[in-house]
Amino acid sequence: MQTRKVESPEEILQLLQGSRLANRPEADRVRVALAVHLFEEGVISIGKAAELAGVPRVGFEDFLVELGIPTVHYDVPDYDADLRTVAQLERRRRES
C-alpha cells in the first residue's frame, strides 16, 4: 500500500489520545479513526476498512461493536429487494 504524509492538527492527535484508540501508536490511531469513519459513511466495505486500519477483519468488527457501530449496512432498499427476491422464489416454488 502506498503511503503519503499528511499534516494533522495537534488537537486531533490529542483528542485521539483521549479516545478508545489511545493504546495504539499515534499513526495507527489516525488510520483506524479514518477507516471507521469511511466505513460508517458507506464509502468503503468493512473488509477494506479493516485492511486500511491494519487489523484483521474480525478484530475490526469487534472494535466497531465496542463503539456501537453496526457492522452491517442493511437499509430499506436492501429489505425491499430481499422481499422481492423471496416473493420471486416463492412463485417459482409454487410453479414447479
% pLDDT > 70, the chain: 100
The predicted pLDDT at position 3 comes to 84
Q: What does the DSSP 8-state code read for residue 21?
A: T
Is 4 part of a structural domain of the chain?
no
CB-neighbour burial class of residue 54 (10 A; exposed 0-12, middle 13-18, buried 19+): middle
Using an 8 Å Cβ cutoff, are 70 and 78 in contact? no
pLDDT at 30 over 80: yes
Cα separation, 92 vs 12, whole angstroms: 56
Grid look-up 477494506 returns: 48
Would the pTM count as exceeding 0.85?
Answer: no
pLDDT tens by residue, 75-94: 888 899 999 999 999 999 99
Q: Which domain holds residue 47?
A: 10-95
- For the chain, percent helix, then strand, then coil, each to nearest 5? 65, 0, 35
Q: Is residue 55 part of a domain?
A: yes
What's the structural domain count of the chain? 1
